[in-house]
Structure 1
Amino acid sequence: MSILRAGVRARQSLVGDHARRGLVGLGIPEIAVTALFANSEPGAWYDPSDLSTLFQDSAGTTPVTSHGDPVGRVLDKSGNGNHATQAVSASRPVYQTDDTLRWLKFDGVDDFLETPIITPSTDKVQVFSGVDVISLSVAEISMLMEIGSTGFNAVNMQVPTNVNGEVRFSASDSSVVYLSETNGVAAPLAAVIAGLGDLDGNPQARHRINQGAYATAGTGGTTANIAANEMFVGAQGGFTRYWAGDLYSLVVRFGPNLTTQQIERAEQFVAGKTGVTL
């Protein structure tokens, strides 16, 4: 059985069992993520399972309370204040819950969230996402997250809503884009996707799905810090390549490389929020 399909089946089994016991998301404590920002590392952490961080409007005056509410503001739990917002009502993702899990649904048409300018001040980044993609129907690659849309000194994660079923993680220096790629991903896809970028390392970009084998890219280049920019969630630059899927968790950290144990614990924490066992 492939890792991707195993993840889907594991999610179905976990939700069915843990829904009865109310245990989904409680296996790994939040310290697995809060510790990643212990030294004020730049980045952001969005947790739709925490209703206190969700608001229907971009100003944060109307809390999200019910399935189907629009989400115009998601508070950043990393401590950096990089709250993700959407001022346009029609472009807001929607909060959903099955009374066990909680997530944001992006429609792949015009939904996205945007942060203030984030200044990474480093050439290293780690991204942990918990997603569910029901079908692959969009003709082009779409963006789950992106910081820097010019192509260089940028980071993005592309999760398959395109018909070719590709997952990509990209980290770029001032002249080269390092793109790790997994092909032939099948839907439905319930997965924890970890993307690790190190523009001074080997490889310089790598990602894995449900703790499977890493796809890697890059063996050398001109090291440069990732540029300061807004981060977009659900689109490229907020204007194209909209993402269609369910987002259960997103952690983006700019800082020193993590240990294997730190990576695995972050993945396991996100898995609990997503309803996937690893």
Structure 2
Amino acid sequence: MLGLGLGGLGLAAAARAQGFDPAGLFASGEIGWVEPMIPGVTLFQDAAGTIPVTAAGQPVGLSKFTAGGQIGFVQATALNRPIYQLDAQGRGCLAHNGLNQWMAAAAIAWGSDEATICAGVRKLSDAAQGVVFETGTNSGGGGAESGVFALLAPRTAADFGVNFKGSQISAATAASQAAPKTVVVTGIGKISADIVRLRINGVPDAQSAADQGLGSYGTYPLYAGARAGTGVYLNGARYPSVGINRLLTEAELAQLEAWMNARTGAF
């Protein structure tokens, strides 16, 4: 039986996703990550990657990347590991409890002033800001680091949002997105051109042309599900994700969002 996300536009998206592998976006040596979340292949219960995830309800200590230069998201502490679950449509995701579950990848040398981040995300509450992904220790206005970015669910309230920061922060927020809500969200940033764009379910939603200052996105750990592993925890679930240190063409972006939606069922 087809899930809800495979009807209508979802069916078309699934068709476009046939044969597409986001690892191909890295053919010229780009930096970033592809996190496909495949049980028994890229998901493991332990941080060492010796015990495969084989069923819903199992903890995830390693979510391997298939491109981009790093091993994957890791959580060495059993108490802090997200849980592999199947949603109502039978799609796999990593559930984060909003209290103490998070993962991190070793420092990524981004080496560019461009970034495209695309992920399937479900948020269960709008009561507090939640980090889906963030580089560094605080991408917000109070953070001292330059060259950082974040995808947030929510960012302020009933929304999804992104922060992109060279030496100054620029942000975009998609409003009227009250929890519980599942989306494919794409954040696009370029420091030198002061580009910040936010797409929800394959459609442009919000943007900002505020000055991002100078520089490139820097070399920082990449956190998933929390701010630096100490707070701003995600209350919801993460589906597969991709981040890359360049802007995508319109055709590449359409393929990536269709691929992501086939694994998320958001639209």
Q: TM-score range by the shorter chain?
A: 0.7 to 0.9
> Is the partner of 1:214 in helix, strand or coil?
strand
> Is the partner of 1:265 in helix, strand or coil?
helix
Pairwise CA distance, 1:166? 2.2
C-alpha separation in 2, matches of 1:71 and 1:30 = 27
Kept after mapping to 2: 8 A contact 1:126/1:194: yes
Moved more, 77-86 or 257-266: 77-86
2:192 paired residue among 191, 194, 200: 200
2:60 is matched with 71
Show CA shifts across 1:51-86 (max 9, x none). Answer: 300110111111111110000001111151331100
Change (3 A) 1:160 1:79: closer
Structure with greater proportional strand content: 2
1:155 is matched with 149
Please list, as runs of the form range in 1=range in 2, the aligned pairs for 1:206-221 lying within 5 A after superposition.
206-221=197-212
> Is the partner of 1:245 in helix, strand or coil?
strand
> Is the partner of 2:255 in helix, strand or coil?
helix
> Is the partner of 1:169 in helix, strand or coil?
strand
Structure 1 runs of 4+ with >6 Å offset:
none
Kept after mapping to 2: 8 A contact 1:25/1:275: no
C-alpha separation in 2, matches of 1:30 and 1:249 = 16
C-alpha separation in 1, matches of 2:213 and 2:224 = 27
Please list, as runs of the form range in 1=range in 2, the aligned pairs for 1:117-132 lying within 5 A after superposition.
117-132=107-122
Please list, as runs of the form range in 1=range in 2, the aligned pairs for 1:12-51 lying within 5 A after superposition.
13-14=4-5, 28-29=17-18, 31-51=20-40
2:78 is matched with 89
Structure with greater proportional helix content: 1
User: Are residues 1:185 and 2:185 paired?
Assistant: no
Runs of 5+ in structure 1 lacking a partner?
1-10, 18-23
Kept after mapping to 1: 8 A contact 2:43/2:62: yes
Kept after mapping to 1: 8 A contact 2:39/2:54: no
Show CA shifts across 1:162-202 (max 9, x none). Answer: 7x21211111012x101111223122312100000111124
Kept after mapping to 1: 8 A contact 2:39/2:53: no
Kept after mapping to 2: 8 A contact 1:27/1:272: no
TM-score (norm 1): 0.84
Change (3 A) 1:137 1:228: same
Runs of 5+ in structure 2 lacking a partner?
none
1:21 is matched with none
1:248 is matched with 239
* Count of equivalent residues: 257
> Is the partner of 1:40 in helix, strand or coil?
coil
Kept after mapping to 1: 8 A contact 2:39/2:52: no
Change (3 A) 1:146 1:168: same
C-alpha separation in 1, matches of 2:57 and 2:7 = 22
C-alpha separation in 1, matches of 2:216 and 2:185 = 23
1:115 is matched with 105
Pairwise CA distance, 1:107? 0.7
Q: CA RMSD in A?
A: 2.5
TM-score (norm 2): 0.88
Kept after mapping to 2: 8 A contact 1:126/1:253: yes
Q: Percent identity between the aligned chains? A: 25
